[in-house]
């Protein structure tokens, strides 16, 4: 693991009047910047040299799209440190809604027809938690506030930011955005349809089913202009009344024997009206004699803020909270142009990056979730591969029209910020730890995650050891609950040296609410949690002249086998083809031992398809290292390297 070097990046104070206060509200004066580690690159054209540190100055004229794995606060600090301040033209984010729910995806094997075995039992790897959306109110507001402050720094002077929200939090977030961006820069609140639900309990319901989400649109300056997208709404030729609101002397005259109604005037002056009459565009209504003008037949109308003809959500990647490409297409069309830079730091399934790639925009995607990173780079690889294949084909056939040329971005690089290298997803690791210990989850408590026996349980984020600050937060919460008499079990991954002494002193002074710690590396009873059997692969890599032959002979994932053969399953599952456990195969035909440059990728298009398992690549050097990265259905990676 590389040494972390922190740097402080100054943040400009929000100029808007503070409008919303909460416990712990604190504007950002500085943020800490961490280095980024280049992990992978994908470039079928072979024209781009991957950069160890992607500063804006280095890539602005030879652009490579950027995919970051890490906390978006730290990634935004990295971007500010490396010249991206004021360089992003459009920001779209779909942050957590504070919905008090866990977001999961169902994980299944490849190639099993209808996912059933002979006995009719589902063959599934169960549910994989992608992220928690359970917050205390003040923590949620501070989380959103800090990131919006950073996003304003990243946004260009003419840029726009679109924040996707639901009804529960949109009013809070709008007030925060008024403070940060200024109320004068609020442009629209767009209403977009949700997937229709139709269910009700026999005794009635506590509230109506939600029918829409909200898109808050803000600019950084009042001079920025939106390009309103169109909506298909065909209308035949028609006639419309010629009067308009207001009273203007030059627009008030007798027309076809009529004067404008009280408080209104005609739409054009007398000379312009006479010209329209001669051209057949203005006439008296055949029945009433009232002046009316001609509207030509149209297929499209300008969109307003009601987008009820499309839905916000999609279901193509199995990723929870996936957003629809059609919605992002409208947003990009409305608030950006070709070649401009688009950022999404709550990337999820990668829809923003996918649409930006298709619409000739440069893009930056960020997510802390490893599942999001895998979903996105699979998706983007497929799009770029298809684009590049079409480009090469048309180039050979000389069908390219220079007048219609669009910017082409055929590469992206994947970076890790602050060494997020846990083998398990952080959220899934917490959930698995709770199952391992036997903790009963409490979904109604915004601070404590569950109970263990008679004790309340607090889970500490596995990305850092237990600190005195964590224990102080537990004490602060208990002060709000004077009637709470249960002891507290704190579950953590590592702890600071001062923790044991602090707890010993604390417990002597507190006959109730005593603190107990389960440290998952050292605890005598529960310490086996981190014993993890990694996946294993047998891969044959050999040279045949100027070809490299790669064949996956076998692959096994103990985690998948363990999930499939859960003790509650009646019949043990046999996997006839080991490729069912493999999601993606990536190959670097000239691996340097540091950065994985994806020169070949096998990403099956359908869930029912298997990876090929055998590959032939062109190579020319006398000796080179071939690296094969196999990603299983749970997102775990195996890397095999051989020199041939």
Q: Do 458 and 605 belong to one domain?
A: no
Q: Do 219 and 284 belong to one domain?
A: no
Q: Do 74 and 176 belong to one domain?
A: yes
* Dihedral (CA of 108, 110, 113, 116) sign: negative
Token code pair at residue 25: 């509200």
- Using one digit for the tens of pLDDT, what is the confidence trace for 210-250? 889 999 999 999 999 999 888 888 888 999 999 999 889 99
Token code pair at residue 419: 């060494």
Q: Do 553 and 618 belong to one domain?
A: yes
Give the pLDDT confidence score for residue 599 in this predicted structure.
Answer: 85
Nearest to 454 by CA among 516, 386, 541, 364: 516
Give the pLDDT confidence score for residue 51 in this predicted structure.
Answer: 84
* Residue 379 covered by a domain: no
* Residue 388 covered by a domain: no
- DSSP E strands: which ranges in 418-564? 440-441, 450-452, 455-459, 488-492, 515-519, 536-544, 547-556
Q: How many domains does the chain have?
A: 4
Q: How confident is the model at residue 516 (pLDDT cuts 50, 70, 90)?
A: very high
Identify the residue with better confidence: 75 or 570.
75
Q: How confident is the model at residue 131 (pLDDT cuts 50, 70, 90)?
A: very low
**Do 239 and 219 meet the contact criterion of CB atoms below 8 Å apart?**
no
Identify the residue with better confidence: 197 or 85.
85
* Residue 116 covered by a domain: no
- Using one digit for the tens of pLDDT, what is the confidence trace for 434-450? 877 889 988 788 899 99
**Sequence-ordered list of residues with C-beta below 8 angstroms from that of 543, at least 6 positions apart, any chain:** 549, 619, 644
Q: Do 446 and 495 belong to one domain?
A: yes
Q: Do 511 and 540 belong to one domain?
A: no
Q: Is the pLDDT of residue 322 over 60?
A: yes
- Using one digit for the tens of pLDDT, what is the confidence trace for 493-509? 888 888 999 999 999 99
* Residue 400 covered by a domain: no
Q: How confident is the model at residue 563 (pLDDT cuts 50, 70, 90)?
A: low
Query: What CATH number does residue 626 fall under?
Result: 2.60.40.730
Distance CA 142, CA 146 (A): 6
Q: Do 313 and 273 belong to one domain?
A: no
- pTM as predicted: 0.68
Q: How confident is the model at residue 469 (pLDDT cuts 50, 70, 90)?
A: confident
Give the pLDDT confidence score for residue 98 in this predicted structure.
Answer: 60
Identify the residue with better confidence: 531 or 522.
522
Range of the domain at 145: 1-19+59-98+135-197+208-225+307-351
Give the pLDDT confidence score for residue 264 in this predicted structure.
Answer: 94
Three-state SS at 101: strand
- Using one digit for the tens of pLDDT, what is the confidence trace for 266-305? 999 999 999 999 999 999 999 999 999 999 888 888 899 9
**Do 267 and 294 meet the contact criterion of CB atoms below 8 Å apart?**
no
Give the pLDDT confidence score for residue 112 in this predicted structure.
Answer: 62
**Sequence-ordered list of residues with C-beta below 8 angstroms from that of 211, at least 6 positions apart, any chain:** 193, 194, 196
**Among 472, 499, 530, residue at a domain's last position:** 530
Q: Do 465 and 603 belong to one domain?
A: no
Residue 462 DSSP code: T
**Among 530, 545, 573, residue at a domain's last position:** 530
Instruction: Determine what percent of the chain is predicted with pLDDT higher than 70.
Output: 86
* Residue 119 covered by a domain: no
Give the pLDDT confidence score for residue 119 in this predicted structure.
Answer: 36
Q: Do 65 and 190 belong to one domain?
A: yes
* Residue 185 covered by a domain: yes
Which range, 331-340, 542-551, 576-585, is most confident?
Answer: 331-340
Query: What CATH number does residue 93 fall under?
Result: 3.40.50.150
Q: Is the pLDDT of residue 553 over 60?
A: yes
- Using one digit for the tens of pLDDT, what is the confidence trace for 145-186? 999 999 999 999 999 999 999 898 899 999 999 999 999 999
Residue with tokens 């001062």: 498
**Among 296, 320, 335, residue at a domain's last position:** 296
Q: Do 171 and 292 belong to one domain?
A: no
Q: How confident is the model at residue 122 (pLDDT cuts 50, 70, 90)?
A: very low
**Do 224 and 159 meet the contact criterion of CB atoms below 8 Å apart?**
yes
Q: How confident is the model at residue 70 (pLDDT cuts 50, 70, 90)?
A: confident
* Residue 604 covered by a domain: yes
CA quadruple 201, 202, 203, 204: dihedral, nearest 10: 50
Beta bridge partners of 66: 364, 413
Q: Do 212 and 83 belong to one domain?
A: yes
Q: Is the pLDDT of residue 610 over 60?
A: yes
- Report the phi/psi class of residue 520: left, alpha or beta, with left for phi > 0 and alpha for psi in -120 to 50: alpha
Give the pLDDT confidence score for residue 124 in this predicted structure.
Answer: 52
Q: Do 624 and 548 belong to one domain?
A: yes
Mean of pLDDT values over 400-417: 77
Distance CA 134, CA 567 (A): 30
* Residue 203 covered by a domain: no
Distance CA 206, CA 203 (A): 10
**Do 214 and 171 meet the contact criterion of CB atoms below 8 Å apart?**
no
Nearest to 39 by CA among 411, 419, 409: 419
């Amino acid at each position: 693991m590389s040494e972390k070097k922190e740097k402080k990046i100054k943040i400009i104070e929000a100029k808007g009047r503070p409008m919303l206060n909460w416990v712990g509200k604190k504007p950002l004066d500085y943020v800490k910047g961490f280095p980024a580690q280049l992990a992978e690159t994908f470039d079928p054209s072979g024209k781009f040299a991957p950069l160890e540190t992607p500063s804006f100055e280095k890539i602005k004229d030879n652009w490579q799209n950027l995919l970051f794995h890490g906390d978006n606060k730290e990634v935004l600090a990295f971007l500010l440190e490396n010249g991206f301040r004021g360089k992003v033209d459009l920001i779209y984010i779909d942050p957590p809604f504070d919905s008090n729910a866990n977001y999961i995806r169902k994980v299944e094997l490849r190639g099993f027809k209808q996912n059933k075995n002979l006995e009719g039992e589902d063959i599934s790897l169960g549910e994989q938690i992608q992220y928690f959306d359970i917050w205390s109110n003040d923590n949620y507001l501070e989380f959103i506030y800090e990131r919006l402050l950073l996003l304003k720094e990243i946004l260009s002077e003419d840029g726009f930011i679109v924040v996707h929200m639901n009804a529960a939090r949109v009013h809070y977030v709008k007030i925060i955005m008024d403070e940060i961006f200024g109320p004068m820069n609020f442009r629209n609140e767009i209403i977009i349809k949700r997937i229709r639900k139709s269910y009700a309990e026999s005794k009635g319901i506590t509230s109506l089913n939600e029918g829409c989400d909200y898109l808050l649109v803000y600019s950084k300056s009042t001079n920025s202009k939106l390009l309103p997208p169109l909506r298909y709404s065909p209308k035949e030729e028609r006639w419309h009344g010629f009067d308009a609101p207001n009273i203007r002397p030059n627009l008030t005259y007798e027309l076809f024997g009529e004067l404008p109604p009280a408080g209104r005037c005609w739409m054009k002056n007398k000379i312009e009206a006479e010209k329209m009459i001669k051209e057949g565009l203005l006439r008296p209504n055949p029945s009433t004699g009232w002046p009316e003008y001609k509207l030509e037949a149209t297929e499209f109308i300008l969109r307003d803020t009601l987008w009820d003809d499309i839905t916000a959500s999609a279901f193509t990647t199995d990723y929870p909270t996936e957003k629809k490409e059609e919605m992002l297409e409208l947003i990009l069309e409305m608030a950006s142009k070709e070649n401009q830079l688009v950022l999404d730091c709550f990337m999820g399934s990668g829809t923003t990056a996918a649409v930006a790639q298709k619409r000739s925009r440069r893009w930056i995607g960020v997510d802390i979730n490893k599942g999001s990173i895998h979903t996105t780079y699979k998706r983007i690889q497929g799009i770029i591969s298809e684009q590049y294949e079409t480009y090469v084909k048309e180039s050979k056939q000389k069908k390219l029209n220079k007048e219609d040329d669009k910017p082409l971005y055929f590469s992206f690089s994947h970076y890790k910020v602050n060494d997020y290298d846990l083998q398990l997803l952080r959220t899934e690791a917490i959930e698995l730890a709770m199952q391992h210990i036997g903790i009963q989850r409490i979904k109604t408590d915004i601070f404590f995650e569950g109970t263990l026996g008679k004790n309340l349980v607090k889970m500490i984020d596995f990305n850092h050891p237990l600190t005195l600050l964590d224990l102080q937060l537990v004490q602060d919460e208990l002060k709000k609950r004077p009637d709470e008499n249960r002891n507290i079990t704190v579950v953590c991954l590592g702890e600071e040296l001062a923790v044991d002494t602090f707890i010993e002193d604390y417990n002597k002074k507190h006959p109730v609410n005593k603190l107990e710690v389960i440290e998952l590396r050292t605890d005598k009873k529960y310490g086996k949690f981190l014993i993890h059997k990694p996946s294993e692969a047998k891969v044959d890599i050999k040279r045949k002249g100027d070809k490299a032959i790669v064949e996956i002979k076998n692959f096994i994932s103990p985690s998948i086998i363990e999930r499939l053969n859960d003790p509650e399953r009646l019949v043990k599952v046999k996997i006839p083809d080991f490729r069912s456990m493999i999601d993606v195969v990536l190959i670097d035909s000239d691996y340097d031992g540091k950065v994985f440059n994806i020169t070949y990728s096998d990403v099956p298009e359908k869930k029912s398809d298997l990876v090929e398992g055998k590959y032939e690549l062109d190579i020319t050097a006398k000796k080179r290292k071939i690296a094969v990265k196999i990603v299983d259905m749970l997102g775990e990676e195996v890397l095999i390297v051989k020199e041939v």
